[in-house]
Structure 1
Amino acid sequence: MSAAPLDRWALGRALTRMANASTAERARAAPREAPRQVARRIGITGAPGAGKSTLVGHLALERLSKGRLGVLAVDPSSPKSGGAILGDRVRMDDLERSTELYIRSLGSRRTCDGLADNLPEMLDIMDEFGFDEVLLETVGIGQAEYAVRAQVDTLVLVLLPDSGDTVQAMKAGIMEMADIFVVNKSDLPGAQKMATDIQRIAAVLRPPAGAWRPPILLASASQPDSIRALSQAIDQHQAWRGADPQWRTQLRAQRARYRLRRLLEMRAAEAIAGQGDDFVDLPMAEQLTAVLAAMRAALAL
């Protein structure tokens, strides 16, 4: 566990600076070696309205005894204004009564994969400030937004009772990525049926021998035992992960690839947006040449 007191002001400034960093600043911030301390990363994802924020809040309180805990919650940004309401932060305000708990809402900004701009670098900052664990709540997602998989060690997929159509839409995408399934708001009708439907889909996926078999849990904010069971399932998955000597190396490579891809995607978008109106009338080869030249200039370190 972290011994030095958390400098919340310095952490807040560092996260804000990185959230607004340019692609060149992001490239300079990329770590050249593994950090001395890497926080456990727990991803909480699911469709809009699944109750992720409430679940994260209760889970954070349950896991505070494990060390310094950070919560990064992604809220959707307006495609027109770029602003975000950041409702997750408002809903969790009453939880931040521990000196070892830090909560930050992030606007998704230009990303369309359930995460936020410059998120890998902000997770690096959480490591630098000595966090033992980070809960990462994605924006509401659908079938194909599973970029969070490479950013976390354990991925929890939150579903609602009577969301069968949602599960059917997800089963060829995020359903295959989850480490733990949670049917939230389990005090509502249809919760057990939803769990049975997930079991049926999980049986079809047929994980290979020795692979982790995702548990299917029922949870409710009004049932503390269900939150405790989810926390225990996370610990069990973390222990299983830790038994694989190659896992950390493989995950670090996946995260590096995602970081580079996002950096190039964002810089390409900036380079295209910066071209004049006559740019679209050029032959495609000249368009590519112009964009690549702009990208090289912006990323020159």
Structure 2
Amino acid sequence: MTTPLERLTAGGFSIGLEAPLDHDWTPAGDQARRRDGRQFGEPDLARHAALAQLADRLGYRALWVRDVPLYDPSFGDAAQVFEVFAYLGYLAGITRDILLGTAAVVLPIREPLLTLKSASSVQRLSGNRLLLGVASGDRPVEYPLFGRDFEGRGNAFRKQVALLRDGANGHLPEGLAVLPSTASPLPLLVAGLAQQSPEWIGSNLDGCLAYPGTPDDHRHRVAAWRAVAGNKPYSSFIHLDLADNPDEPLQRWRFGFRGGRKALAAELRALRAVGVDHIGLHLRRNVRPLDETLREIAEYVLPQFHETKTQLTEATP
């Protein structure tokens, strides 16, 4: 059976998306947010299911969701709003092929056995499509609310990785088990260093979820990752505003850029050349309608990088 990690990197490079599938960070999106009475950073989820299904049909490799248990205005972002494992279970039921990733589950504030059961359930229900991104967390306000120690999150992270690795078999009294069992270990990708040494991360995790950056940024980060992790997958994200004009040149901003599809393809080629294995596109800054944007990228950009030709005959949701 092909593993989710093998599917992620099939062909040597792949392109996915990061939820929420909304453009609420644009002026028009912010105006709609105010009209609807949503919090700043709270996306419009009216079309989330239809857009996830469209992304699946168009051949995007993965859909990544974030884990933000509590909305904190000081961070200014509610992420994709839904509880991460409940949402992944829902997405597993309405999609067929697209990989489902977390970027990333904050392990130390979660009950370890329930995290294992939730992740294993999504893995089984999705047909082995889960990519479990994990992290130690960076929001101190959350820890006391969950009865957890912020300063001890690094040690808690290591213990939970060990439990996830062996399916809790070495952590339970004889005769007890966490079901459903999985055919293979859950694929674990790390966001940041999770309060660990690079060497520990490289040895104990299966892939890297790196912060967005330029190709030159990633050149140095990939080299550091390869030094401790070998050929394990290296993934990152781009905050993209795809221009109408396919020839519009790239204009960088923090975590991404605006540009036409030719600039996007050139940036992706540069990222592939420095060793990046997967890029998730974050579209909350995207001015154009998202279904239109997804279709254009699928028609003109995905075929340059993915193994199979994207099918574009499905009806717009």
Smaller-chain TM-score range?
Answer: 0.3 to 0.5
Q: Greater Rg, structure 1 or structure 2?
A: 1
Higher relative helix content: 1
